[in-house]
């Protein structure tokens, strides 16, 4: 499957969150199976058990750390991923126009969002709107079931199938 190169910037986020590893490709050079991290399994179970929880805290913590440490080319790829997912961006801008204390119109909210992305490119700090973007981009993270895998282990084929859904433009949204 061909995908824009920018989506590869998301792979370390997924790897760190799910497996507590940033470079799974190197890991598979010497190993046949990859195991979900205990931290992910525990946090994920807690996330699923709490019906009031609407944010995957481990994913957000990983995002913040990764973005702060990312070099300028990775930050540019992250912004490219965001801009490639215009449906999510439009939703975020719309929600900020509705919820904003400044009473900005849609164009002003979009300009504000673009300024936040430019600030991210310069400094690497994840903004709340970017965090919201990634929670939506990884919207079905809660569907990951480590217990579906024997001993919580995946082979390379299973791993590639699991993460491929997050390494592409997100479509088929229904915001209700």
* Residue 28, both tokens: 């598979």
Q: If we measure between CA atoms, which residue out of 137, 26, 128 comes closest to residue 120?
A: 128
Tokens 């920018």 belong to 6
Rounded to the nearest integer, the mean pLDDT of the chain is: 87
pLDDT one-digit tens code per residue, 125-146:
999 899 989 988 887 777 888 9
Checking if the pLDDT of 31 tops 70, the result is yes
Checking if the pLDDT of 2 tops 70, the result is no
* Residue 104, both tokens: 């900005």
pLDDT one-digit tens code per residue, 62-104:
999 999 999 999 999 999 999 999 989 998 888 887 776 566 6
């Amino acid at each position: 499957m061909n995908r824009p190169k920018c989506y590869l910037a998301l792979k370390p986020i997924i790897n760190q969150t799910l497996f507590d590893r940033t470079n799974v490709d190197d890991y598979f050079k010497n190993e046949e199976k990859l195991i979900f991290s205990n931290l992910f399994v525990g946090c994920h179970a807690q996330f699923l058990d709490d019906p009031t929880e609407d944010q995957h805290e481990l994913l957000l913590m990983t995002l913040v750390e990764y973005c702060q440490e990312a070099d300028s080319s990775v930050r540019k790829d992250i912004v490219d991923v965001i801009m490639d997912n215009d449906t999510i961006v439009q939703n975020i801008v719309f929600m900020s126009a509705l919820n904003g204390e400044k009473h900005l119109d849609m164009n002003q909210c979009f300009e504000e969002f673009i300024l936040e992305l430019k600030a991210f490119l310069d400094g690497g700090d994840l903004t709340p709107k970017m965090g919201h973007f990634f929670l939506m981009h990884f919207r079905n993270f809660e569907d990951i079931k480590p217990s579906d895998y024997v001993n919580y282990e995946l082979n390379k084929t299973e791993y590639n199938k699991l993460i491929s859904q997050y390494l592409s433009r997100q479509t088929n949204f229904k915001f209700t």
